[in-house]
Structure 1
Amino acid sequence: MAHTFDELVAKQRAADEAHNRVRQLREAYDPRTRARWSAHQRATWETAWRAWRDLARDVRVAVTDFARAEGRPLLEVEAELTRAVRTDERGEPGG
């Protein structure tokens, strides 16, 4: 599937947001007490973790497809994507 660079940025942002949610839950639930998490806490964390995992996988596939379609090195596209997402996070125009 062909992707635009803007789509890659959006996908990466979604994956980053999902990762932040996993970190927030881990901190809120205290990882040292994971064995004592309630069923609700465990289900919430596992759902968030799966969402992050799936989004991160989708980003990897999309970036690989994009690099191949554009005839560019994967590392170059990944670096450009990282710069674009970081720039956007600062509230500045992205790449």
Structure 2
Amino acid sequence: MAHTFAELVEKQRAADEAYARVRQLQDAYGPPTQTKWSAQQTTTWETAWRAWRDLARDVQAAVTAYAKQEGTPRQEVEARVKEAVRHGTPNEE
């Protein structure tokens, strides 16, 4: 599947937001080894964690495909995507 650079940036943003949600839940619930989480808390955290994991996996696959399509080293594409996310620039094409 062909991806544009802007799509990669949006995918990375979504993954970053999902990770922030996981961290927010961990902060709210406390460390699971020190605080007994309710069944609902555990389910909520696991759902958020799976969403983040799936989005992160999708980003990695898209970056790999884009790098191959562009003939650019994968690490370079990943660094450019993260830089674009950090500075709020969605387009690079």
* Percent identity of equivalent pairs: 66
Give TM-score scaled by structure 2 length.
0.92
**Corresponding residue of 1:42:** 42
How do 1:59-74 and structure 2 match up within 5 A?
59-74=59-74
1:25-36 to 2 correspondence within 5 Å? 25-31=25-31, 32-33=34-35, 36=36
Q: Name segments (4+ residues, structure 1) moved above 2 Å.
A: none
Q: Any unmatched runs of 5+ in structure 2?
A: none
**Distance in 2, Cα, partners of 1:79 & 1:45:** 29
Q: CA deviation at 1:74?
A: 0.6
Q: What is the root-mean-square deviation in Å for CA atoms of aligned residues?
A: 0.9
More helix by share: 1
Count of residues in Structure 1 that have an aligned counterpart in Structure 2: 89
Q: Which has the higher contact order (CA 8 A, sep 6+)?
A: 2
TM-score for both structures, normalised by structure 1 = 0.90
Aligned partner of 2:57 in structure 1 is 57
Q: CA deviation at 1:82?
A: 1.0
Per the TM alignment, residue 20 of structure 1 is displaced from its structure 2 partner at its CA by 0.1
* CA shift for structure 1 position 75: 1.0
